[in-house]
Amino acid sequence: MKDLSPASFGMVMATGIVSLAAHLLAMPVIADILFRLNIITYGVLWLLTVARLVGYPRYFFTDLSDHSSGPGFFTMVAGSGILGSQFVVLSGNISMGLAMWFVTIGLWLGTTYTIFTAFTIKREKPLLSRGLNGGWLLAVVAAESIAVLSALLANHASQSYELELNFLAFLMWLWGGMLYIWIISLIFYRYTFFLFSPKDFSPSYWINMGAMAISTLGGSLLVSNAANAPFLHSLLPFIKGFTLFYWATSTWWIPILLILSVWRYACMRLSLNYDPLHWGVVFPLGMYAASSHEMATVMALEFLSFLPPLFLYAALLVWVVVFVSWILTLLRRIGICCF
């Protein structure tokens, strides 16, 4: 409990988006099983997080202000937003979706301004090569998760709140895109102008792609909502253009991330032992499947229809591998498993 990773809610993010992608691609049984599992996981992780905060506050706040681990807290925000989206899409439970919307916004406000303020006023700061990693882009995913959930809720809101929800979704979609540009510029600089060892390429760098994939999903939902929101309709060419821009960027990242993964694990033979950051590989794969499906649907790009099933199967496979690895790790810790 003392060593609970701030990025533990990455499991909720990964499980939630694979569930949603399975629903979109007509796999209702898988979608429902993962939805139920995600509710349990979310509750257990919150119990453990609160217990850590109460029992080990020094460790909790040290992580919160640490450049390497602090961004992991944004998984709480994104996980809450994605679970809220599951309630809306999979069960039609708008009340729970709205409750999770409030939770997500509250967490986003708290984490965003606490973490970035702490990073700014710290007296001792790490070098860029040590303090920056792909996990920083979880801040983008957190913002975009609010955009996605707001856009979904707008379809079920009364007319008096539909405009406000769509406007908030649009603002968070724009803000997430701007934040991505800031952070990815530093990450790309770190890639190309600093020594980059296999150990430096953590699974969190897959968020390079995942952050753009969820931005694509948010844009696709805004395009879909434009029919009932005049201000969105007037901005439709802009929204469509940037949605395609985000999708193209996420697609560009996939080959280089695969190449670097082969370099890390196959060429340099680094261990594949369980790490909570491994959920950061599942999430982008599932999000790419869901976002590609939505974008192809709303923009009538039928020739892209082969991509969502391909990436959903990949996400399911990696999810199973990471989940089994997590179970075996738990069993080893309590002395049941000897593997």
Confidence of residue 120 (pLDDT cuts 50, 70, 90): very high
Q: Read off the pLDDT of residues 233-248 as tens digits, 9 standing for 90 and up.
A: 999 999 999 999 999 9
Do 166 and 239 form a contact (C-beta atoms < 8 A)? no
Nearest CA among 19, 11, 87 for reference residue 46: 11
Is the pLDDT reported for residue 16 higher than 60? yes
Per-residue pLDDT band for 218 (boundaries 50, 70, 90) equals very high
Specify the pTM: 0.95
In angstroms, the CA 296 to CA 127 distance is 42
Q: Which two tokens stand for residue 244?
A: 């395609």
Residue 35, pLDDT score: 98
Question: How far apart are alpha carbons 329 and 323 in whole angstroms?
Answer: 10
**What HEC string does the chain produce?**
CCCCCCCCCHHHHHHHHHHHHHHHCCCHHHHHHHHHHHHHHHHHHHHHHHHHHHHCHHHHHHHHCCCCCHHHHHHHHHHHHHHHHHHHHHHCCHHHHHHHHHHHHHHHHHHHHHHHHHHHHCCCCCCHHHHCCHHHHHHHHHHHHHHHHHHHHHCCCCHHHHHHHHHHHHHHHHHHHHHHHHHHHHHHHHHHHCCCCHHHCCHHHHHHHHHHHHHHHHHHHHHHHHHHCHHHHHCHHHHHHHHHHHHHHHHHHHHHHHHHHHHHHHHCCCCCCCCHHHHHHHHHHHHHHHHHHHHHHHCCCHHHCCHHHHHHHHHHHHHHHHHHHHHHHHHHHCCCCCC
pLDDT for 245-270, tens place per residue? 999 999 999 999 999 999 988 888 78
Residue 164 has pLDDT above 80, yes or no: yes
Mean pLDDT value across residues 27-52: 97
- For residues 78-105, give the mean pLDDT: 97
pLDDT > 90 in the chain, percent: 82
Give the integer Cα–Cα distance in Å for 236 and 257.
Answer: 32
- Yes or no: say if 19 and 90 are a contact pair by the CB < 8 Å rule: yes
pLDDT at residue 228, rounded to an integer: 86
52-83 pLDDT tens trace: 999 999 999 999 999 999 999 999 999 999 99
Mean pLDDT on 202-231: 94
pLDDT tens by residue, 274-298: 888 899 999 999 999 999 999 999 9
Q: Helix axis angle, 138-154 relative to 74-86, nearest 10°?
A: 20
Mean pLDDT in residue range 297-324: 96
Choose among 115, 117, 12: nearest CA to 68: 115
